[in-house]
Amino acid sequence: MKSAVITFPGSNCNRDMAVALEKITGNKPEMVWHQETNFSDVDFIALPGGFSFGDYLRCGAISARSNVMKEIVKRAKAGVPTFGVCNGFQVLTETELLPGALMRNAGLRFVCRDVHLRVDNNTSMFSNAHDKGEVIKIPVAHHDGNYFASEDKISALEDEGRVVFRYCDANGDVTKVANVNGSINNIAGVVNRKGNVLGMMPHPERMIEPALGGSDGVKLFQSVLNTLG
């Protein structure tokens, strides 16, 4: 499985993403700068976390209009698996590859801590190594992760089982207290209708070995590897 990690000015999780991909898939990903108009044919595209373009205008707004994103939108629409974490998720909503928007956290604070997530969909290519309802612990680090979408978009996401991860407590209960940022229905990660684009605020790439505090992020990459080989 060949992958690419896209880097914007202000990305800061691109190396973590590359380390995770190399460790789990065995192949070093290609690092692609945002000004590129083309890059190798890869099986998997990762948009990392960070504060691309200083979060100017809106988080992810400037990146979403970059050269490389025009190419990525084309490929993602053609079915290439595309994965956005944190700022990467914001970029994916700004390109409209994923519905909704990530707004300022309801508590107005930057939240940086480990959170529990419940895997509500274990049939996606990003989550098939998980059990349904499995509870994992991985970190969040964001100021704008409050997932919002119009009522009809939320119903469609829910009806079609496209909410992959939800903020929950240690027992897997989806509660208001466990909702770190005020997201509608505790939504932490969603896939597109085709199932090849996932965006999520928490950082699985930062939880891939015990030295980092845990390995709960491994299964996401393992799922992708299982699917793509």
Residues that bind other proteins (CB under 8 A): 57-58, 61, 65, 93-94, 99-101, 103-108, 146, 148-150, 182
- Rounded to the nearest whole angstrom, what is the least distance from the CB of residue 150 to other proteins in the complex? 7
Q: Which amino acid is it at 46?
A: A
- Rounded to the nearest whole angstrom, what is the least distance from the CB of residue 114 to other proteins in the complex? 23
The single residue of 59, 94, 116, 205 carrying the catalytic annotation is 205
| Choice between 50 and 100, CB closer to other proteins | 100
| Choice between 100 and 139, CB closer to other proteins | 100
What SS3 state is found at 90?
Answer: helix
Sign of CA dihedral 22, 43, 167, 170: negative
**Closest by Cα among 42, 57, 59, 39 to 142:** 59
- Rounded to the nearest whole angstrom, what is the least distance from the CB of residue 3 to other proteins in the complex? 28
CA–CA separation, 52 vs 54, rounded Å? Answer: 5
CA–CA separation, 9 vs 57, rounded Å? Answer: 15
For residue 137, count CB atoms less than 10 angstroms from its CB and return exposed for 0-12, middle for 13-18, buried for 19 or more: middle
Burial 152-185 (b: 16+ CB within 10 A, else e): eebeebeeeebbbbbbbeeebebeeebbbbbbbb
Q: What is the DSSP string of 173-198?
A: ---STT-SS--GGGEEEEE-TTS-EE
* Catalytic-residue membership of 86: yes
| Choice between 4 and 149, CB closer to other proteins | 149
* Catalytic-residue membership of 205: yes
The single residue of 34, 86, 94, 142 carrying the catalytic annotation is 86
| Choice between 39 and 148, CB closer to other proteins | 148
* Catalytic-residue membership of 116: no
- Rounded to the nearest whole angstrom, what is the least distance from the CB of residue 69 to other proteins in the complex? 12
- Rounded to the nearest whole angstrom, what is the least distance from the CB of residue 53 to other proteins in the complex? 12
The catalytic site residues sit at 86, 203, 205
